[in-house]
Chain A
């Protein structure tokens, strides 16, 4: 079960036999834990959540991600509850869908997230980032402390996904509440939330509004989509919108935050990105490799051997793509960030048929967010590294990231102020 910060019992913890990915101690040191497990196990286990496995080698993670015969995606967030999702659709298609339905649900969405479709969102994303940076700059000028996660990273994907879905950007705080409950405290809020305060209720309202006033945003698109001549059910539309909200926000927020954390801790990398803007696309892939936020999960559908260990039917199996990305069998200097790493077969967006459908969007957001940040600030540091708090659960990124910054002399000025 998950732990709140004040309940951690890390003293006696053996990550190989009793890991807990919802423990803040795991979140704070995950890369080191994966390195240790890769040497020792290489498939760790815990009795928690009714029995859960944690492979950490690239080969094992890749094999599982490509094996839809022994592993189902029916449920992809490990908790104490094994959901009875309607197979093969699941609650949030296509991420919770298995073949053959998976491909049907996925192909409906793919065009909206293609590189070409995402390119059309870049200018709006850049504008969002600049607005956030203007506000941060005002705080810096006023001598107020700033937080790169709270004041910047967390807002960018919320605004982009709200823009895509056609819901008010002011709903951002509500999105983050839903996400926190589902990803950071899975299962723990069951039955404790007023019905009108649930994600389910919110989605019903949003879908009803879109039915009353049709438009050409992504929800409108889903309401018009068909499978074999039939409109999608409200459950399918609601599940997919929930997926896009949950999967599209926490993840990108984490990637942006972790990348900024890295640059704050490595001023030479910040300086290099400022001096060599053309390096940014390569650096973005390397930051995605090193700080891939997402660990997926599967349920074992029939006994199967992975890395010399037999996984049993009904067990959970985590898929830590970030651990695969740090496997020295696949990556040279796996534990170092090499900004100009040219050969980088990273699995930050997963592998196999469930490759993150928003990967092009996430990559664009991360690239634009970093580009705008490094143009604006020529120095950054962590005044209190201990104050950085990493999220728990299957999406890992800094949720609190106090930084100090230096305003670049050549920074793009948001608005020209009249001289007195």
Chain B
């Protein structure tokens, strides 16, 4: 699974950081920071889907 994060669309809702803390952190201003490079470790695939499905700004996409 690959994950893509659109930093320009992120408005700092921090929903991803809450549902997928192993994939997303936040910077000092509260915007999301993706912690992996493109490829999602298998054990984090569910978390990646949750992050995508809870982003109010549609800033996160995953593809299997």
Contacts and interface: CB of A to CB of B under 8 A. Distances in A.
Interface of A: 107, 110-111, 113-116, 281, 285, 342-347, 349, 351-353, 355, 359-360
A115 B55 contact: no
Contact of A285 (B12, B15, B28): B15
- Which of B11, B26, B27 has the most C-beta atoms of chain A within 10 angstroms of its own C-beta? B11
A28 to B, nearest CB: 28
A359 B14 contact: yes
Given A342-B50, A345-B53, A347-B56, A114 B29 contact: yes
Interface in B21-39: 26-30
Given A285-B15, A343-B53, A343-B54, A115 B29 contact: no
B47 to A, nearest CB: 11
Given A111-B28, A114-B28, A346 B56 contact: yes
B31 to A, nearest CB: 8
B56 to A, nearest CB: 5
A360 B11 CA distance: 12
17 contacts: A110-B30, A113-B30, A114-B28, A114-B30, A115-B14, A115-B17, A115-B30, A116-B26, A285-B54, A345-B55, A345-B58, A349-B13, A349-B56, A351-B56, A353-B11, A359-B14, A360-B14
A55 to B, nearest CB: 17
Nearest to B25: A115
Given A349-B13, A355-B11, A111 B56 contact: no
Interface of B: 11-15, 17-18, 26-30, 50, 53-58
- Which of B14, B17, B56, B58 has the most C-beta atoms of chain A within 10 angstroms of its own C-beta? B56
Contacts of B29: 107, 110-111, 114
Given A114-B28, A115-B30, A285-B54, 8 more contacts: A107-B29, A110-B29, A111-B28, A345-B53, A351-B11, A351-B57, A355-B11, A355-B12
Given A111-B29, A113-B30, A345 B12 contact: no
A359 B56 CA distance: 13
Given A342-B50, A345-B55, A351-B11, A281 B30 contact: no
B21 to A, nearest CB: 10
A116 B33 CA distance: 14
Contacts of B50: 342-343
Nearest to B27: A114
Contact of A345 (B11, B18, B28, B56): B56
A-B interface, 10 closest residue pairs, ranked by CB to CB distance from nearest: A110-B29, A114-B30, A343-B53, A355-B11, A115-B26, A345-B56, A111-B28, A347-B56, A115-B14, A110-B30
Contacts of A347: 56
Given A114-B26, A115-B17, A342 B53 contact: yes
A107 B31 CA distance: 11
A375 B42 CA distance: 37
A210 to B, nearest CB: 24
Contacts of A111: 28-30
B26 to A, nearest CB: 5
Contacts of A359: 12-14
Nearest to A359: B13
A355 B26 contact: no
Nearest to B17: A115
